[in-house]
A and B are shown apart, each in its own frame.
Chain A
Amino acid sequence: MVSTQIMVGSSASQDPALAASEAAQHALAQATEPVFAMVLSTACYEPEALAAAVSGALGDLPWAGLSTAGVFVGKELLTQGVVIGVICGPEVRVGIGVSGKVGEDGRAAGNAAASQAVAGMSETVPEGWHRAFIVLCDVLTGNGADVVRGAVQVGGTGVAWAGGGAGDDLQFARTAQYAHGKAHAGSAVVIALDTRAPMAVGVRHGFRPYGPPTMVTCSVGSALAELEFEPAFAVYQRAVAGRGDRVTAEQFTSYAMTHPLGIPQASGEHVIRDPLRVDAEGTLHCVGEVPDGCLVRVMEGDRAGLVGAAQEAARAAKQAVGGAIGGAIVFDCVSRSLVLGEGVQEEIETFGAEIEAPVMGCFTFGEVGSLGRGVPQFHNKTAVVLALGA
């Protein structure tokens, strides 16, 4: 008996109406008992126009999604396009919540969106069922880590957590989150999914630490001002100089693409923090908070490591499901594609090869998932794979 499946469709049309129509048509054509549609789009569309078009194409089918820096389905990578994945099955339930103003209080936004998502569902996961939460949020105006923490205060652990930060075409100007048939900005969207078949998440990044550890002595949110009481960038420069590299402020963004920061975990893993830019005071602005008092290390990654991590993430998810897979949703950090270059195609194909089921995915600004079995966190430069059991 088929429990859960993801039927995917895509379109590269730049016309939002046509793109929505094509993608939806293709996905729905194969779907029996559709329950929910996940919509991933690039940033080339006017969000309100796309939302209206998708709502029109999907009719009454609940849907949610986000704008991203790129989308893919199967082996196909679309730098401009829409991917729609219809989750279908007789034993699938969904709840969707949205909350604005992540910039004012990310924790409250995550809490509110998650509360809304579970409002129509049972307070605990029913016996024999499994629950997953997908968190989609704006990280340009708010703290993604706080959004996740707020959502976890509602959903708890013991369930699968996945998701990502909405993106655009690397202008870091404006992103869109979709829910209830509308486009939102500066918001958090949470999808609660209950299925009979297990769901699991695999999280890997593939970066290794190489620089000496330095203590964070001054940080505010995602702005890392000082390392060991010195301007953070100066310390960063010394760290990479130890490896024989030189980096200037102008070169920092591209250099940091392959040399992010890592926050050590007790397990030996590192949570990655992606420095996007350095300002005149030497403060490194990252995608995601850097906690005061922690030790950070400069990380390095290469193509082989990243692709390997992608494979490990997919494998971990599949193994955790422990059975046939009905489909997978991948939240892959956009900076990985920048590191991989043309090699991103290999990464995308790795997901599909490992999952052996329909795979849809996007390039996000930050990812949501649990490293190991602990509480979910907000990551950078990480691949998160949500696998749905069939």
Chain B
Amino acid sequence: MADDRDIQDRIALLSVLHELTVAALDLFDPRRPVTGFLERTAERLGCPAALLLDESAPAPRLLGAVGLSAFSCSMTLTPGAPLPFPELSRPGLVSWRLALSDTHAHAGHGEPAQGGVNGQTSGEIDPDYDPPSRPTPLVTLLLFFDGEPQFGPQYRGMMRRLVSILHTALVHRRLYAHTLRNERERTLRLEQERQARAEAEDEQRRAAFLAEASRRLSTSLNYEATLTRVARLPVPFMASFCMVDVLEGKDTLRRAVVVHADPARSQVARRLERTATVEAVTLGPITEVLRTSEPLRWDLAELDASATSEETNILAQLDVTRLVSVPLVSRGTTLGVMTFGCVEDNLCYALDDVSLVEELGRRAALAIDNARLYDSAQRAIRAREDMVAVVSHDLKNPLATMFINLQVLSRKLPPDDQASSLRAPIERIQRAAERMERLIRDLLDLARLDAGHLLIEPVMKNPGSLLSDALDMVRESAAQKSVHLEASAADTLPLVRCDHERVLQVLSNLAGNAVKFTPPGGQVEMSAAQEGGEVVFAVRDTGPGIPDEQRSSLFNRYWQAKETAHQGTGLGLSIAKGLVELQGGRIWVESAPGSGSTFFFTLPSVPSTTSVNDTSNKNEANVDGGASSASSASSAGDVGHAASQMAASGDASTGEVSSDVTSSPG
């Protein structure tokens, strides 16, 4: 019996030692809790409590505990005081204290449960516990027994052996925890880098896609072509299916284009194209997006059963089940809806990246809006051209009749003062007709300028001859107002390339205005001078000058000074500007109130090596159905003409042509 008892004891010792050794070695892995070892120890040795304490300064703490309640584990330990745990305050408890800090750990036999420790407690060791600022921990294993342990003294030796193994395991546990932590951080960093890279690549792809989308959308301003391009853009990169609904008018929604990635299904897809009033639209999500101007993800299967319609059936036939609709909004107005659809089980970028489809929708809306505006502009241009044609044919004819009949009347009038009462009204009618003719001509010129249809015929002209011709055109009106008129241009001025009639139109407009605004006795001078590659023409008057606030509006069409309102059409300077710029020049004014005004314009000069016999060339922006002026005399002829004029004035050296005209009132 005694032998049998001895065998039983040895077996128990070996079993407990082996089991606890395995449990201690398990602690190499910081992912295993320390309480596992403590539980095994407490269970096998019959301990009501087992604690692992780090008693090193400055703040020792509980590394693990078994047999203490949660409340006890939360208690703060007071330095130098007995352990405060209620479970350990029972009389008769015996403790074993085993230090792990060196290999010669000893067990305190029969010691009462005590121990001074500092710091806070916690219920479990932190597997990453690695306080670099701490000295090597002084770890103690405390085992408590309810009375004297009922097993042999060899267990103390066993525990000494075990704490040595435990100490080694805890040291390596810290090292391994450090390694695991580094590995975790490295993995996290790699994952963050991978994610950042993937996001950057994703962003790059999105940007490239949007850039390509913008490029494609800008290749044409044709409205229908733009709608088709919009629908094709996302297929198949972002979606398997796309349809574009556009609002036309207030209440009509036209499904203009439907595209499917599978060409074999395109015909079925096109059956979705239709026009309906907004109220009659059967796909609820479309009207929802129209109403809210917010994107909407929707599933065909989740549509209200009552919404079943031909459209939902077609979508089902196309296997398009998951969709997202985005509003097409431009300049604050909803133009329609763009819907992307995905075939079941296929990857669908559109559904995953609503911000991308929204951006695509914005760009598509802009393109559609631009196409619409272009379409409207084209219609407006066509309407204006039709109007120009009407005006040129239907208004000019009655005017021509008026002029002819006025001439007839004038010829039939007696040549003396007897018919003065008849002559005055005829002259008034004449002036009114001439005014109307000027207005029609100006309107036609402006229309042609706006449409880019104005034809000019550049030839090389002598600036002096141009001035001389312009002088002749305003000579009479200047004489009537007793305004001194003169023109000057140096012989050495280079020729200019211009349309003779049109330049005369500009000069006569500027000179005419100068005469109009110059009080009697004043002076109007026209001149030309070379500046670099241009010849600068100037018309200076001694009128009242132009206030600062009016100068910026001078070349706007229909603007007129208050003083001479209704004396012209208000289009002259605007037309002059258009004519000068069409011929490659610039026009501007310098003026100050009380100091008169000088209008300048430039024309490109011809290089000196250019022969004066070079022929003119037509400058046609478009074929113009209206009249175009034929090429006038060559520039050589113009030089001769100017020379003869200068000879007439007696001042050949400067080429100055002056005319001092006075007139008597009345």
Contacts and interface: CB of A to CB of B under 8 A. Distances in A.
Interface of A: 115, 123-125, 149, 152-158, 209, 213, 215, 263-268, 271, 291-297, 371-375, 377
Contacts of A154: 69-70
Contacts of B87: 156-158
B40 A264 contact: no
A264 B48 contact: no
B66 A152 contact: yes
Contact of A123 (B15, B18, B71): B71
B19 interface: yes
A277 to B, nearest CB: 24
Interface string B62-75: 00001111111100
B71 A268 contact: no
Nearest to B45: A266
Given A215-B18, A265-B16, A372 B72 contact: no
A265 B123 contact: no
Given A153-B70, A154-B70, A156-B68, A265 B46 contact: yes
B86 A291 contact: no
B149 interface: yes
B23 A373 contact: no
B8 A155 contact: no
Interface SS of chain B = helix
Interface in B363-381: none
A291 B68 contact: no
Contacts of B72: 156
Contacts of B46: 265-267, 371-374
Contact of B39 (A149, A292, A295, A373): A149
A375 B39 contact: yes
A268 B151 contact: yes
A268 B22 CA distance: 20
Contacts of B21: 293
Contact of B19 (A152, A209, A293, A375): A293
Contact of B14 (A149, A213, A296): A213
A375 B151 contact: no
B146 interface: yes
Interface SS of chain A = loop
Given A266-B45, A293-B19, A374-B46, A156 B69 contact: yes
Given A152-B67, A158-B48, A265-B44, A213 B9 contact: no
B158 to A, nearest CB: 9
B48 A373 contact: yes
9 closest residue pairs by CB, A with B: A293-B22, A156-B69, A373-B146, A295-B15, A374-B46, A294-B19, A264-B12, A157-B48, A123-B71
Contact of A156 (B22, B35, B67, B150): B67
Contacts of B147: 373
17 contacts: A125-B86, A153-B123, A156-B67, A156-B70, A156-B72, A157-B87, A158-B86, A264-B12, A266-B151, A267-B12, A267-B151, A271-B43, A292-B19, A293-B21, A373-B48, A375-B42, A377-B43
Contact of B45 (A125, A295, A374): A374
A292 B26 CA distance: 10
B155 interface: yes
A374 B71 contact: no
Contact of B43 (A158, A268, A375): A375
B70 A295 contact: no
Given A158-B90, A292-B22, A294-B18, A268 B68 contact: no
A268 B197 CA distance: 64
A295 B68 contact: no
A266 B19 CA distance: 12
A209 B12 CA distance: 11
A265 to B, nearest CB: 6
Contacts of A158: 48, 67, 86-87, 90
A213 B11 contact: yes
Contacts of A371: 46
Contact of A213 (B15, B49, B69): B15
B455 interface: no
Nearest to B26: A292
B47 interface: yes
B13 interface: yes
Contacts of B13: 266
Contacts of B48: 157-158, 373-375
A375 B67 contact: yes
Contact of B155 (A153, A266, A296, A373): A266
Interface string B450-487: 00000000000000000000000000000000000000
User: Which of A124, A292, A373 lies at the interface centre, i.e. has the most chain B CB atoms within 10 A of its CB?
Assistant: A373
Nearest to A122: B71
User: Which of A125, A153, A158, A296 lies at the interface centre, i.e. has the most chain B CB atoms within 10 A of its CB?
Assistant: A158
Interface string B86-101: 1100100000000000
Given A157-B67, A267-B151, A268-B12, A293 B18 contact: yes
